[in-house]
Amino acid sequence: MRVIGIETSCDETGIAIYDDKLGLLSHMLYSQVKLHADYGGVVPELASRDHVRKIVPLIKQALAKADSTLDDIDGVAYTKGPGLIGALLVGACVGRSLAYSWGKPAIGVHHMEGHLLAPMLEDDAPEFPFIALLVSGGHTMLVQVEGIGQYQVLGESVDDAAGEAFDKTAKLMGLDYPGGPRLAKLAEQGESGAYRFPRPMTDRPGLDFSFSGLKTFTANTINAEPDDAQTRANIARAFEDAVVDTLSIKCKRALKQTGYQRLVIAGGVSANARLRSSLADMMIKLGGKVYYPRGEFCTDNGAMIAYAGLQRLRANQIEDLAVKGQPRWPLDSLPAV
């Protein structure tokens, strides 16, 4: 069974073809970072227009690289939500139209399920059940995963997501867009312990997250301290340490609460080296193991959509003829496979 995956939830156009026997056959990705850099963040209308320009050429390239024709494709998967509604509708319109014209089933995929299943693209894939930490620019959540579609959200962000806090804090420090990776790079030059920032919501029970206050605390520190290179690096390090410690503490709670020994981290922030190191050390101490996708599959991509779509296609969970986008879509509302 072979599925083409289309990802257009935000500012990256991703197309991939996945085969259940041969694995990933092609993976094309176009990033709009340069387009949005002048604005300091994603402009939804510009993102939608750029998806329109890039999506069909990337589909043709993906098919050629996979040495596939429409006769080889068994289903067309596209990101149905959550995300920017205009960007979602580009992928949904193209994906649903291709499926109709090719006489193939269409599969609307949940973007966060795609991230959650991205580690399955690796040779060392996790077995069910596990705890998943999904950390991106729009989401931070802990999910108890018993199988595909068997999700229980244990905790999530009540305000800014971790990736959003990274980007906003980077902007406060005058770093260019996208700020998160640049802040992490700056933090490498910082001295551990030079500043001690709060670990939000770790002093109370529960698994929810809140990073808005940490962002404000960082802003106040920036305004109160000297504006020199080392101070900026120290502040970046203190911010990153606070986020990493908070995520690690909540992951440990979730693992103890469920008794699980496997932890998956996915989403754009899962590429953060300090976070990966912290969680790996924690899992060794707990006698468990952490799993994550390679760097290119941490951010939005078509491979994770193709893989997730194939699982849904196997269960015959396909779309009708209507073109739909769901900018808000609870992960735990998905049916089991």
What residues form the annotated binding site?
A: 111, 115, 134-138, 167, 180, 272, 300
Q: What is the distance between the alpha carbons of residues 96 and 302, in angstroms, rounded to a whole number?
A: 16
In sequence order, what are the residues at sequence separation of 6 or more whose Cβ sits closer than 8 angstroms to the Cβ of residue 53?
none
What residues form the annotated binding site for substrate?
A: 134-138, 167, 180, 272
**Tokens 């596209």 — which residue?**
78
HEC sequence for the chain: CEEEEEECCCCEEEEEEEECCCEEEEEEEEECHHHHHCCCCCCHHHHHHHHHHHHHHHHHHHHHHCCCCHHHCCEEEEEEECCCHHHHHHHHHHHHHHHHHHCCCEEEEEHHHHHHHHHHHCCCCCCCCEEEEEECCCCEEEEEEEECCEEEEEEEECCCCHHHHHHHHHHHCCCCCCHHHHHHHHHCCCCCCCCCCCCCCCCCCCCCECCHHHHHHHHHHHHHCCCCHHHHHHHHHHHHHHHHHHHHHHHHHHHHHHCCCEEEEECHHHHCHHHHHHHHHHHHHHCCEEECCCHHHCCCCHHHHHHHHHHHHHCCCCCCCCCCCCCCCCHHHCCCC
Give whole-number Cα distances, 327 to 29, 40, 238, in Å: 22, 22, 34
What residues form the annotated binding site for Fe cation?
A: 111, 115, 300
In sequence order, what are the residues at sequence separation of 6 or more whose Cβ sits closer than 8 angstroms to the Cβ of residue 34?
none
